[in-house]
Amino acid sequence: MTDDPLALHEVRQIAAIGLSERKVGVPPERWPLVLRKLSNERLTGLAVAGLAMGRLSLEPEQIDELLDRHRSAMVLALTIEQRLLVLSAAFEGAGVRAIVIKGPAVAHRAYPDPSMRSFGDLDLMVSTRDWQPACDLLVACGYRRGLPEPRRRFDVRFGKAATHSDAEGYQVDLHRTLVLGPFGLWLDPDELLANTERFVLAGRQLERLDTTAMLLNAALHAGLGTARPLLLPLRDVAQLAWDPAVDWDRFAAWTVRWRLGTALRHAFDCTTRDLGVDLPPVARRIGAIGAGRAERRAILAYTDRRPAGGVALATIPAIRGIRGKSAYLFGLLFPSRAFLRARAGGRADASYLSRWRVPFRWVTAVRVKRPLKPRG
């Protein structure tokens, strides 16, 4: 896809369907690339909606292939929603409050039809206080954590989320904050969890972030989740930014108090650039909020310096106190043997020496002032 800018342009136009008046057509020679990208980035729902709206023009064979991919995506989404219903009952029975922060929450709130927004896993958020009970509960429900925490209590102090998978490979990302690194440490997860609302799924009342907090999560995920923003999170930002339920005064207050200005400006800029759509004027004003030196340095950690350990290195100055910084560094440099083995793919010969090669590469890359290419 990176070798065919025309195909990427068409995928971006499809990702913006419903937000612009553009009509999109895909020549047969580029359709296999476009279809693969639509599937990989979970955009088939928007493409199908484009067909229904007359915004996407495809040949009959292309339509059949698209509908086949989208059918598979919907089967996966419904299966995940079934697991959400089971887990929500288990969490409620154990007295653990779990908030749905992506996937079904966004699909059923932000989009005209939830089938427009597919998802491949389940994201739940709990308070730091409930973090370990929630992890234990997932294990009791048949989910296994893929990567143990480096050291005891590392997650509740410095982590973002832990991925748990069941025997069939379905994943639950259990969050205690929205993003890894300095921006995740600066925001207040407990205040976010005080801003929720109810939604109905298959007759059950579930809890999700309210629209304002959902937009914040979408923007941080879009701008900071990957070095190059994915299209579906960017579409979430555009979809939610125009929602009249967003409380922009509260959003602006969070932006200032939690030092999120550069992160949100990056997400909003990427949304308008990659999707070619406008955001509300108030979003542009939020993006124009001034940022301090620490924020300006932090955003580079998630973008330009990400392959060279930017996020991990930028986390150190964001941690309060020498003891906290020391605990973070100790956990990174001297993690448990179980963590080493898991990071090494289960190899029994995993060593601290192999672990230390990673920060050595980071330091070397910084010293020679050359960007480090991500590993394939």
Q: CB–CB of 164/138 below 8 Å? A: yes
Q: Determine which helix (DSSP H) or strand (DSSP E) holds 254, and give its type and residue range.
A: helix 248-257
pLDDT of residue 291: 82
Q: What is the mean pLDDT of residues 184-205?
A: 96
Query: pLDDT-based confidence at 366, cuts 50/70/90?
Result: low
Is the Cβ–Cβ distance between 169 and 120 less than 8 Å?
A: no
Domain ranges of the chain: 5-303, 304-376
Q: How far apart are the first and last CA of the chain?
A: 15
The CA radius of gyration of the chain, in Å to the nearest whole number, is 21
108: left (phi over 0), alpha (psi -120 to 50) or beta: alpha
pLDDT in tens, 308-332: 888 998 999 999 999 999 999 999 9
pLDDT over 60 (residue 133):
yes
Kindly tell me if the per-residue pLDDT of 371 is higher than 70. Answer: no
What count of other Cβ atoms lies within 10 Å of the Cβ of residue 40? 12
Helix (H, G, I), strand (E, B) or coil at 350: coil
DSSP secondary structure code for residue 56 in this structure: E
Q: pLDDT band for position 363 (50/70/90)?
A: low
Closest listed residue to residue 77, CA positions, set 108, 36, 38:
108
pLDDT for position 257: 96
Arch. (CATH architecture) of 5-303: 2-Layer Sandwich (3.30)
Q: Which amino acid is at 188?
A: D
Take residue 43 and report the two structure tokens written for it: 């955009």
Residue-level pLDDT at 306? 86
Dig out the tokens for 350 from the structure.
């995993």
55 contacts 23 by C-beta, under 8 angstroms: yes
Tens of pLDDT, residue by residue over 213-264, are 999 999 999 999 988 899 999 999 999 999 999 999 999 999 999 999 999 9
Mean per-residue pLDDT of the chain = 92
pLDDT band, residue 284 (cuts 50/70/90): confident
Written as one string, the DSSP assignment of 283-345 is HHHHHTS---HHHHHHHHHHTTTGGGTHHHHHHHHHS-SHHHHHHHHHHHHS--HHHHHHHTT
Tens-digit pLDDT profile for residues 104-131: 999 999 999 999 999 999 999 999 999 9
Yes or no: say if 39 and 69 are a contact pair by the CB < 8 Å rule.
Answer: yes
Count of H helices and E strands in the chain? Answer: 19, 9
Report pLDDT digits (tens) over 152-169.
Answer: 999 999 999 999 999 999
The C-alpha torsion from 70 through 73 and 75 to 77, rounded to 10°, is -130
Beta bridge partners of 79: none
